[in-house]
Structure 1
């Protein structure tokens, strides 16, 4: 079996799994100085875009293509490549299709999609000027496109809104929900979907604290919230998107209103994947490989599901004991260190809260 992987930044997360499966790995990358280029069997440096990967896939006669892209802008090009490679050449591309990407890459379209499928989302309006605002403060101002908290502002007064419009001509203005932030991964392939355990990402803040600066835990344990509701809602969203790959969804839970709100959905690998893997034993990136080689099924995923207490903590630079090889696998480790130097995070797991605390005391 020969697979083409597009993008090298995330490849070290699955290199160990690819090798364990005896898969011949081919990788394309546009940056000749990118990380992880020493890991695959073959590497091709190609121009930005999907023309290069398409040519390499055909030249190398690969069995499937697995894009490993963790940012939004290239996703629509990947989706168009998926249509072409699958329809014209019969080569599966394990990624979301055009409709799913178009609905999820634009926050305004995502809002409209939630309304169409009857999934609760915070009240919102599209602002073309500050004086159009009719929601009560505080409100959240966003742009239609963007990720990782980019171009998001929590406005507490009209002056905050006016300041936002000094930079932008339009804004998606959303009701600020005071409550718990939750993330969940859903795996989808050939019209089968499975929602993995939800992850708790902390409480919302007026300051708009970035998720990378928060301690996260799994499984999600928020008083008053039924995790089955989160999984059922996430499953409903994924099923209506009707596509393949990883769906990462963000929710908010208001204890005051006893209401779960859908915030956004991404059709790509996400930042909470380590914590999900630590919590339940299912690695979403490895499942992309399984989809490509014909070994993905709901029963296989259910057989892997476990239950652990886990946490993810920002540490800057890790200086604790070295993990076992492979360093990105929870099959050989009870912790994984990830992220660039200066911004590293440690994700650890144990079978009880007490054991988790003891493990963390040894690591940090």
Structure 2
């Protein structure tokens, strides 16, 4: 089995799994100074874009391609390559298709998609710079966003007209959304060949008028929110994934309004995501390893269900880790109660245990 991985930044998460399964690994990477280039069997430094990975995959007769891309801009190129290769060759590309990427990369299109499939999403409208005072039809506070962007970029919580004015000093148009006071939730869904399985919902903290980014919050799982049934989160996530009708990893963001007792869908990412360590810690399923299983033809809903466990876990921002050494593999919970991830200065530690009490004790020992 020969797999081409596109992008090296996330590869250390799965290198151990690739080797255990006897996979010949090839990486294409556009940055010659990128991390993890010493891990695979072969490395090709290529120009940005998908044409070179596509040609390398064909010339080396690989069995599958697994893009390991954690940012949005290249996803549409990946999706187009997927459709070209799968139409012209027998090489599967384990990634979302063009329709799914188009719907999810534009927040406005995502909103329309939710409406079409009957999934609740916060009230929204499009505001323009010159007429927003006349157009605004949502009570303050509101959330202002651009159609494209990730990681909290270009998002502002506006409490008054002056805040909107300030936002429009930089932009000419905005997606304006009702601010939901309540709990932020993420969930990963795995999908391949029309089969989908939602994993454990993750609690990412409460919404704030300051717009605090989830990376700066302590997250935990399982998601235990009064008045919210986790089965509702999983059913809704499954419905979204089923209607997207694509392959790979879907990370979905929700908010639960405590005053309305209602679950709202916010957005979908069709790529590896920042909650994957906490998901793995909580349920024992590593979504990136499952991409490898899809490539090897070993993925099935039954196989994932057989791996599912139930643990208590938390993820805490620590800046730089200075504690006990981890066992190999460093990014796996197989031989560790915790993993450390993220770049220096912005590291996070994800810890898991069999009970809430055991988790509390581990946090005290490590932090």
Short-chain TM bin: over 0.9
The yes-or-no answer on 1:77 pairing with 2:77 is yes
Give the match for residue 92 of structure 2. 92
User: Is 1:258 the counterpart of 2:261 in the alignment?
Assistant: yes
Counterpart of 2:223 (choices 220, 225, 233) is 220
Structure 2 runs not aligned, ≥5 long: none
Q: TM-score, normalized by length of structure 1? A: 1.00
Report the counterpart of residue 104 of structure 1 in structure 2.
104
Shift of 1:89: 1.0
1:199 Cα offset (Å): 0.2
Q: Is contact 1:125-1:172 (8 Å) kept? A: yes
Residue aligning to 2:60 = 60
User: Is the Cα contact below 8 Å between 1:79 and 1:96 reproduced in 2?
Assistant: yes
Corresponding residue of 2:340: 337
Report what 2:177 is aligned to.
174
Post-superposition Cα deviations, 1:303-322, rounded to whole Å, max 9, x if no partner, equal 00000000000000000101
Residue matched to 1:311: 314
Aligned to 1:19: 19
In 2, the alpha carbon distance for the partners of 1:357 and 1:137 equals 38
Distance 1:258 1:210 in 2: 23
Cα distance in 2 between the residues matched to 1:134 and 1:249 = 27
Residues 88-108 of structure 1: CA distance to partner in whole angstroms, max 9, x if unpaired? Answer: 011000000000000000000
- Establish whether residue 287 from structure 1 lines up as the match of residue 290 from structure 2: yes
1: CA distance, partners of 2:3 / 2:111? 36
Tell me, yes or no, if the aligned pair for 1:275 and 1:312 is still in contact at 8 Å.
Answer: yes
Pairing 1:296–2:299 present: yes
- Secondary structure in 2 matching 1:194: strand
2:215 is paired with a residue whose SS is helix
By how many angstroms is 1:346 displaced?
0.1
* Equivalent of 1:136 in 136, 139, 146: 139
Q: Any conservation in 2 of the 1:320–1:362 contact (CA below 8 Å)? A: no
| Ranges in structure 1 where 5+ consecutive residues have no aligned partner | none
Tell me how far apart the structure 1 counterparts of residues 188 and 365 of structure 2 sit (CA, whole Å).
30
Residues 275-304 of structure 1: CA deviation (Å, up to 9, x unaligned) = 000000000000000000000000000000
2:35 match: 35
The root-mean-square deviation of aligned C-alpha atoms, in Å, is 0.5
CA distance in 2, matches of 1:325, 1:211: 28
Rounded to whole Å, the distance in 2 between the matches of 1:157 and 1:8 is 44
Query: What residue number does 1:352 align with?
Result: 355
Quote the Cα distance in structure 1 between the aligned partners of 2:110 and 2:91.
29
Q: Distance in 2 between matches of 1:331 and 1:85?
A: 35
Aligned equivalents of 2:96 and 2:112: distance in 1? 19
Structure 2: distance between partners of 1:73 and 1:101:
10
User: Per-residue CA shift, 1:40-86, capped at 9, x if unaligned?
Assistant: 00000000000110011011110000000000000000000000111
CA distance in 2, matches of 1:201, 1:336: 18
Where 1:287 maps in the other structure, the secondary structure is helix
Alignment match of 1:234 (pick from 233, 237, 252): 237
Whole-Å separation in 1 of the counterparts to 2:107 and 2:230: 25
For 1:10 and 1:155, how far apart are their aligned partners in 2?
Answer: 35
* Structure 1 runs (4+) greater than 2 angstroms displaced: none
> Across the two proteins, how many residue pairs are aligned to each other?
364
The residue number in structure 1 matching 2:8 is 8
Shift of 1:133: 1.1
In the other structure, the counterpart of 1:321 is 324
Distance (whole Å) between structure 2 residues aligned to residue 153 and residue 17 of structure 1: 40
SS state of the match for residue 34, structure 2? coil
Structure 2 SS opposite 1:72: coil
